[in-house]
């Protein structure tokens, strides 16, 4: 499986401004969330970058992408019809090929010598199927994420055969249907905001959108269907995700980037000074 393209979704009404936010990256350089996300994809060897945007946002995004701006292909979502529809807007861009899907409101910090996107793509190439990155997540955060149930692939640490996908399940639903052997009590495998998807996903999304008259099409619903039609895996990466759209999310992401970067000692000293004066 060759993955040459990435689709980054940025068109959601509550999401549009988040990729434009300013941060300091791990090298201590001022940049934007969008530029960090694009650099993550490029670090995995991807050069073709499609960004799903609300019409009229193209110029702001091109500027926020910095040196990557000329590489972007903008894909308009003309009306807010949900996340599944936003992904399907990129159907012409991906042209029947497998692709990396990322969201515009998550940043990542790897805990290995390979970036998170590179880890995921290597896994998808090796297993030759759709793979979603997941992270063991506490029960109280279930309202924010799609969640998978499944079973560990024999002999492969952190790799799971997906049996069921639920979008933002309740704790009761999760306890009854999504417990994965090997996880700590009260933790579930929630989406990481990064997937490698096969062409069947776009085909299924198109059909779901045609049927969803007056409603939104759910990517989680399509991925649940995918688990019954072809091999579909979930992979626990060596890394952490940071949702910049939640309360204090941008602050937390900035601290995570800084503490894993070249300015770690300076940031730690500043935090100690801050706490000492509280």
Q: Provide the residue range defining the domain that includes 153.
A: 5-276
| pLDDT number for residue 136 | 95
Whether 212 shows a pLDDT value over 90: the answer reads no
Range 34-51 average pLDDT: 97
| pLDDT number for residue 213 | 75
Whether 218 shows a pLDDT value over 80: the answer reads yes
| pLDDT number for residue 139 | 95
In whole angstroms, what is the distance from residue 147 CA to residue 215 CA?
21
Pairing, β 30-32 against β 146-152: unpaired
pTM: 0.95
Q: Domain total for the chain?
A: 1
Whether 22 shows a pLDDT value over 90: the answer reads yes
Whether 24 shows a pLDDT value over 90: the answer reads yes
CATH of the domain at 58: 3.90.550.10
Helix spans in the chain (H): 33-42, 58-64, 83-88, 91-94, 116-127, 171-177, 199-211, 219-229, 249-259, 264-276
């Amino acid at each position: 499986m060759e993955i040459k393209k990435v689709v980054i979704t940025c068109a959601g009404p509550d999401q549009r401004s988040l990729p434009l936010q300013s941060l300091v990256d791990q090298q201590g350089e001022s940049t934007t969330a969008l530029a960090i996300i694009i650099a993550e994809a490029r670090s995995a060897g991807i050069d073709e970058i499609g960004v799903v945007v609300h019409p009229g946002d193209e110029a702001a995004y091109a500027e926020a992408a910095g040196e990557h701006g000329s590489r972007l292909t903008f894909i308009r979502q003309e009306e807010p019809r949900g996340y599944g529809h936003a992904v399907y807007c990129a159907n012409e861009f991906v042209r029947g090929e497998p692709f990396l899907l990322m969201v515009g409101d998550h940043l990542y910090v790897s805990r290995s010598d390979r970036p998170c996107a590179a880890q995921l793509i290597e896994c998808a190439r090796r297993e030759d199927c759709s793979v979603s990155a997941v992270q063991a997540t506490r029960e109280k955060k279930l309202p924010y994420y799609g969640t998978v149930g499944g079973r560990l692939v024999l002999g492969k640490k952190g790799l799971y055969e997906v049996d069921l996908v639920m979008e933002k399940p309740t704790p009761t639903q999760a306890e009854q249907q999504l417990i994965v052997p090997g996880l700590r009590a009260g933790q579930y495998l929630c989406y990481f905001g990064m997937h490698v998807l096969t062409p069947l996903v776009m085909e299924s999304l198109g059909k779901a959108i045609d049927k969803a008259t007056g409603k939104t099409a759910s990517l989680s619903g399509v991925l649940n269907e995918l688990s019954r039609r072809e091999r579909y895996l979930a992979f626990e990466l060596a890394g952490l995700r940071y949702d910049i759209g939640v309360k204090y999310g941008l602050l937390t992401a900035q601290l995570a980037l800084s503490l894993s970067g070249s300015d770690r000692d300076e940031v730690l000293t500043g935090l100690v000074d801050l706490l000492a004066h509280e």
